[in-house]
Amino acid sequence: MDAIATYALRLGDDSLILGQRLSEWCGHAPALEVDLSLANVALDQVGQATHFLTLAGELEGKGRDGDALAFRRDVMDFTNCLLVEQPNGDFAQTIARQLLFSHYQELLFTALMGSKNATIAAIAAKAVKETSYHATLASDWVVRLGDGTDESKARMVAGLDWMWRFADELFVMDEVDAAAIKAGVGVDKASLRAAWETRIDAVLADATLTRPAPRRATTGGRVGRHSEHLGHLLSDMQFLQRAYPGATW
């Protein structure tokens, strides 16, 4: 795959893996409203993934469609960031991941609306409206849990502490980003960081929380170096195509 196809693939993989993770809450969330919310966010992410992976397959030009890319690749071929593959943990840990990711995704999609790739620009313009809901949902819950009981606060602190080390990777740039920027297709992710930090700090302040202690950043997802968690996620998500390769209905 060339750089532009890989760029689309990365966008799609982030959405796909987060969508799959969130769908694990379906039927298990602490309240019906939360169950509906997380399932809807998952659905939006999977919808974005369908568009981005379809585009990646078209740009690659080897006849792979969105389903082929989602269901017939192995762990090291996935290019999602490590944040989205992290286990759900408790509800606070899931919300911590959503806070960090949705604010990033909203800023990213806002910038990508100006992409010279018309399809990426169109997907971003459509998805940013949904992502805004996700960011609001996560922010509201961080405040509710952080500024809640001793128990909810302790869990919110622990959830943020776990997820925080994966935030740096969201803004890391490599040769794929450089090529995409040069072509006018991609955006400078590093330039989104200041706005992201302002948003996160505002939510944390509302939640009577502070930023977790800095940790050495963990990266590698963009080039296929994943945590063990992703393999387990894929074995579930890809079960049908692994058991019955090429099955359609």
Partner 1 sequence: MSVVSAISDTDRIRAILARGPDPEIPAVSVVDLGIVREIAAGTVTITPTYTGCPATIAIEQSIREALDANGFANVAIETTLSPPWSTDWISDKGREDLRAYGIAPPPKGAATASLKNQTAAECPQCGSSNTEELSRFGSTPCKALWRCKACAEPFDRFKCH
Per-residue H/E/C for the chain: CCHHHHHHHHHHHHHHHHHHHHHCCCCCCCCHHHHHHHHHHHHHHHHHHHHHHHHHHHHHCCCCCHHHHHHCCCHHHCCCCHHHHCCCCCHHHHHHHHHHHHHHHHHHHHHHCCCCCHHHHHHHHHHHHHHHHHHHHHHHHHHHHHCCCHHHHHHHHHHHHHHHCCCHHHHCCCHHHHHHHHCCCCCCHHHHHHHHHHHHHHHHHHCCCCCCCCCCCCCCHHHCCCCHHHHHHHHHHCHHHHHCCCCCC
Q: Which of 88, 132, 227, 241 binds partner 1 (CB under 8 A)?
A: 132
Is residue 173 close enough to count as binding partner 1 by CB under 8 A? no
Point out which span in 90-98, 122-130, 158-166, 229-237 binds partner 1 (CB under 8 A).
122-130
- 177 sits near partner 1 (criterion: CB under 8 A): no
Give the x/- contact pattern for partner 1 in 45-74, rule: CB under 8 A. xxxx-xx-----------------------
Q: Which of residues 24-43 bind partner 1 (CB under 8 A)?
A: 32-33, 36-37, 39-43
As measured in angstroms, the least distance from the Cβ of 172 to partner 1 is: 26
194 contributes a contact to partner 1 by CB under 8 A? no
Contact flag: residue 179 with partner 1 (CB under 8 A) = no
Residue 137 makes contact with partner 1 by CB under 8 A: yes
> Looking at 126-134, 154-162, 163-171, 231-239, which segment touches partner 1 (CB under 8 A)?
126-134
Among 133, 206, 229, 238, binds partner 1 (CB under 8 A): 133
Task: Give the residues lining the site for partner 1 (CB under 8 A).
Answer: 19, 32-33, 36-37, 39-48, 50-51, 118-119, 121-123, 125-127, 129-130, 132-133, 136-137
